[in-house]
Amino acid sequence: MTNTTSETSPDAPQGAISDFGIDTTSQSTGEAVRDYFARLRGGELGSLPALLGVVVLLIVFSSLADSFLTLGNIANLLQQGASIVTIAMGLVFVLLLGEIDLSAGTASGVCASVMALHLVKGGNLLGGMGDTVFYLFCGMLALAAVLAALMRIWAGTALSVVALAIAMIGVPPNPWVEMLLAVCVGTAIGCITGYLVARVGIPSFVVTLALFLAWGGVILQFIGQGGTLGLRDDVIFSVANGNLSTAGSWALFVLGAGGYAAVVLIRHFSRLRKGLVALPTPMVLAKVGTVVLLAAVATYALTLNRSQSSLVVITGVPFVVPIVLVLLVIGTFVLERTSYGRHVYAVGGNKEAARRAGINVAQIRMSVFVIASSLAAVGAIIYSSKVGSVDPNAGGDNTLLMAVGAAVIGGTSLFGGKGKMRDAVIGGAVLAIIQNGMGLLKQPAAVVFIVTGLVLLLAASVDALSRRRAATAAR
């Protein structure tokens, strides 16, 4: 009888196991710490510089301005920075491809002006715009729907058609309809922008610079020179100025912090069970505990009365916080847990390699502009709610520069392929703290712009140097 038992070849299974051993070897706490510092030395800084910047700025301004860390100012900080953070989150998608969208600011202004015009004119955009402008506007929406369909971006097609229907039918004014209209118009703008870049092949810098100027003219046409459209609606006003109840604030804490802890811990112990590399459990528990503790402290502080008057009570987490958190969670999930997100990183890392791997590069390139303009519309809603009106300067001035600056300061690379949604939030916090702190110190606008510009320049320099460091380490 033939013996079928054979000795294990030293060149086959064991060689394979040794090749992939790094994927099945747990790290000790010391090894994890050493690995982290090794990655820092290799140029993988991530959001660390921005986080350190937040800490330094908090210390500096709290020591220089007595009112900086008051409850009222903290809530005001959250409300002030929400619109820029939202626009920046959309721009992260564009920057991941190494592209740029210079029209995001004025595009948000167009969305805000259409929303305000529809509300003020009782849903009659035809009467508000005039025949010629109205039909050109509807033609733009129809064109956007067609272009999105050609590229098989069905969400873009659907939302563009919704905007067209609201405009043509003359849907009566309603705060939820107005906000939906703003987002749909933003999506339509993104479809046109993205198609010109992805399919026609015009460089994004040129396309978006041209549209930056064009959308500025559109805003002026809709509102008129020196005009202002008031947003007299309680629901829209509450978006940036309202607060959750105390119970709602703690419910948000349980949902947000609890959900974060559950996801991180479940993922961690799942990796341990499968024998995959995972951070040491004490480090994971410390990370989760820190986030939960900070969230609990912030929630408790914001549920205290922060009114300056004894006749008024102001408590609760501002509405903009759950809005930003929802967008952050969705965006993070899309980028890190879906094939679409992996395709975005792949195209940003090496467009030709992504094309050879079968990724529809043109569709990905167009889609990021759709996302950016849609989130710019959400940012427009938040900002318009904060100020209570829309004027010809909506989305202009330094809106775009602040949004791009927030993403870059937070750690998103201008060269593409590196960045996360959280970068926009961290970078937005840096800019909001600078502007708020400088305002409390009564510094002139010139000083605020100079400091902001220097911070952005520093962030871009860190990005360039870290990439050079990483390239050197790779050799």
pLDDT of residue 162: 96
Pair 220, 140 in one domain: yes
Pair 109, 199 in one domain: yes
What does the alpha-carbon distance between residue 401 and residue 449 come to, in Å, rounded to a whole number? 11
Pair 130, 277 in one domain: no
Percent of the chain with pLDDT over 90: 55
Q: What is the mean pLDDT of the chain?
A: 87
Pair 143, 122 in one domain: yes
Tell me whether residue 2 is in a domain: no
> Which residues make beta-bridge pairs with 230?
389
* Domain tally, the chain: 2
**What length is written for the chain?**
475
pLDDT of residue 294: 93
Residue 306's contacts (CB-CB under 8 Å, 6 or more residues apart) are: 70, 71, 72, 75, 314, 315
Which of 283, 302, 317 terminates a domain? The answer is 317
pLDDT category at 469 given cuts 50, 70, 90 is: low
What does the alpha-carbon distance between residue 321 and residue 239 come to, in Å, rounded to a whole number? 10
Q: What are the counts of helices (DSSP H) followed by strands (DSSP E) for the chain?
A: 20, 2
Nearest to 351 by CA among 276, 416, 294: 416
> Which residues make beta-bridge pairs with 318?
243
Find the mean pLDDT for residues 360-377: 96
Pair 257, 363 in one domain: no
Could you please report the per-residue DSSP string of 215-270?
Answer: HHHHHHHHH-TT--EE---HHHHHHHH-B--HHHHHHHHHHHHHHHHHHHHHHHHH
Q: Which residue is associated with the tokens 């609990």?
A: 296
**Of the ranges 33-37, 80-84, 427-431, which one carries the lowest mean pLDDT score?**
33-37
pLDDT of residue 472: 64
Which of 260, 287, 317 terminates a domain? The answer is 317
Q: Which residue is associated with the tokens 């990021």?
A: 368
Tell me whether residue 261 is in a domain: yes
Could you please report the per-residue DSSP string of 323-360?
Answer: HHHHHHHHHHHHHHHSHHHHHHHHHHH-HHHHHHTT--
Q: What Cα–Cα distance (Å) separates residue 162 from each residue in 95, 114, 182, 368? A: 28, 14, 11, 20
**Which DSSP letter does residue 390 get?**
E
**Which DSSP letter does residue 279 get?**
-
Q: What Cα–Cα distance (Å) separates residue 53 from each residue in 321, 371, 437, 452? A: 21, 28, 14, 12
**Amino acid at residue number 195:** Y
Q: Which residue is associated with the tokens 């938040």?
A: 382
More confident residue, 431 or 23: 431
Q: Is the pLDDT of residue 260 over 50?
A: yes
Domain span at residue 262 reads 243-317
Q: Is the pLDDT of residue 11 over 60?
A: no
Nearest to 100 by CA among 88, 84, 83, 85: 88
Tell me whether residue 126 is in a domain: yes
Q: Is the pLDDT of residue 21 over 50?
A: no
Pair 225, 130 in one domain: yes
More confident residue, 130 or 415: 130
Give the H or E element holding residue 389.
Answer: strand 389-390
pLDDT of residue 164: 96
What does the alpha-carbon distance between residue 90 and residue 459 come to, in Å, rounded to a whole number? 19
Give the domain CATH number at 77.
1.10.3470
Is residue 273 helix, strand or coil? helix
What does the alpha-carbon distance between residue 54 and residue 60 come to, in Å, rounded to a whole number? 10
Percent of the chain with pLDDT over 70: 91
Tell me whether residue 8 is in a domain: no
For 9, the token pair is 């070849």
Tell me whether residue 308 is in a domain: yes
Pair 326, 448 in one domain: yes
Which of 267, 301, 317 terminates a domain? The answer is 317
Residue 329's contacts (CB-CB under 8 Å, 6 or more residues apart) are: none
3-state DSSP of 153-165: CHHHHHHHHHHHH
pLDDT category at 30 given cuts 50, 70, 90 is: confident
Tell me whether residue 165 is in a domain: yes
**Of the ranges 69-83, 206-220, 333-347, which one carries the lowest mean pLDDT score?**
69-83
Pair 304, 215 in one domain: no
Pair 303, 367 in one domain: no
Pair 265, 353 in one domain: no
Buried b (16+ CB within 10 A) or exposed e, 268-294: beeeeeeeeebbbeebbeeebeeebee
What does the alpha-carbon distance between residue 61 and residue 385 come to, in Å, rounded to a whole number? 27
What does the alpha-carbon distance between residue 383 and residue 377 come to, in Å, rounded to a whole number? 10
What does the alpha-carbon distance between residue 170 and residue 124 come to, in Å, rounded to a whole number? 5
Tell me whether residue 3 is in a domain: no
What does the alpha-carbon distance between residue 321 and residue 318 come to, in Å, rounded to a whole number? 6
Q: Is the pLDDT of residue 1 over 50?
A: no
Q: Is the pLDDT of residue 74 over 50?
A: yes
Helices 399-410 and 104-120 cross at an angle (nearest 10°) of: 130
What does the alpha-carbon distance between residue 190 and residue 269 come to, in Å, rounded to a whole number? 41
Buried b (16+ CB within 10 A) or exposed e, 95-128: bbbbbbbbbbbbbbbbbbbbbbbbbbbebbbbeb
Pair 82, 123 in one domain: yes
pLDDT of residue 20: 41
Tell me whether residue 190 is in a domain: yes
Pair 94, 164 in one domain: yes
